[in-house]
Amino acid sequence: MLAHLLRHGETEGGARYWGRTDVPLSSRGWRQMRTAVTGRSWDLIVSSPLRRCATFAEALAEEIAVPCTLEPDLREASFGDWEGRSAAELSESDAERLRLFWSDPSAHTPPGGESLGDLQARVMAVWHRLAKVADSRRILIVTHGGPIRVFQAAQARMPLSALMSFDVPHAALIRIDWPEHGSLTTDPGVSLPTAEHR
């Protein structure tokens, strides 16, 4: 079983904590995602329902003639009071909370936002549901930076406190080989392959 994780491209409005805010891709974002998938194919596409993921996922699925499923649990984390604000703006108004969030996001949830524990629970639930029906299919998961970092942390057996150590730029395409036992885990006794940027 082989899965690729694809982060959405650049959005209209620029780099901000969009979270659950449903902003569309910019024209550059479309080009970024198109470049990332050029020459590749999958048997199934599963996507966040937010427009910056779903519109591209559905268009790609139609183009390569494969099913596309929208999965609500692949949405980005809610950033609560930080939704729609930039890091520069938060550095002026909420600098200490922003610093703590970047140092350990598992212990410092944005005010009114979703905890990383809750994000991890729903994202890994998607992974386990897919594992039950995956067989030998190649799956493309189109989602956001937060969920992708959760997948990477699970594969690397790293704690949620280290989530920000994973670099996930716009339109990053990351390959993950499905473990033989069919699921990712944070159990340190299970050896997992390393995710690679492809």
Helix (H, G, I), strand (E, B) or coil at 94: coil
| Average pLDDT of the residues in 79-97 | 95
Which range among 36-50, 59-73, 92-106, 123-137 shows the weakest confidence by mean pLDDT?
123-137
CA–CA gap between residue 76 and residue 49 (Å, rounded) = 10
Whether 8 sits among the annotated catalytic residues: the reply is yes
* Residue whose structure tokens are 């594992």: 131
CA–CA gap between residue 185 and residue 85 (Å, rounded) = 33
- pLDDT of res. 180: 46
pTM: 0.88
Structure tokens at 99: 């610093």
Contact 44, 2 (CB under 8 A): no
Q: Which of 112, 61, 106 is nearest to 84 (CA)?
A: 112
Contact 147, 114 (CB under 8 A): no
CA–CA gap between residue 160 and residue 167 (Å, rounded) = 14
> pLDDT category, 178, cuts 50, 70, 90?
low
Q: Could you read off the pLDDT of 26-77 as tens digits, one per residue?
A: 999 999 999 999 999 999 999 999 999 999 999 999 999 999 999 999 999 9
Give the chain's domain count.
1
Statement: residue 105 has pLDDT above 70:
yes
Q: Where residue 139 sits, what CATH number does that domain have?
A: 3.40.50.1240
51 or 160, which is more confident? 51
CA dihedral 131→136→137→139, nearest 10 degrees, is: 50
CA–CA gap between residue 4 and residue 66 (Å, rounded) = 15
Q: Which residue in the list 8, 108, 144, 170 is annotated as catalytic? A: 8
- pLDDT of res. 176: 85
- pLDDT of res. 86: 95
Give residue 158's domain range: 2-197
Q: Which residue in the list 10, 71, 76, 114 is annotated as catalytic? A: 76
| Average pLDDT of the residues in 148-170 | 91
Whether 170 sits among the annotated catalytic residues: the reply is no
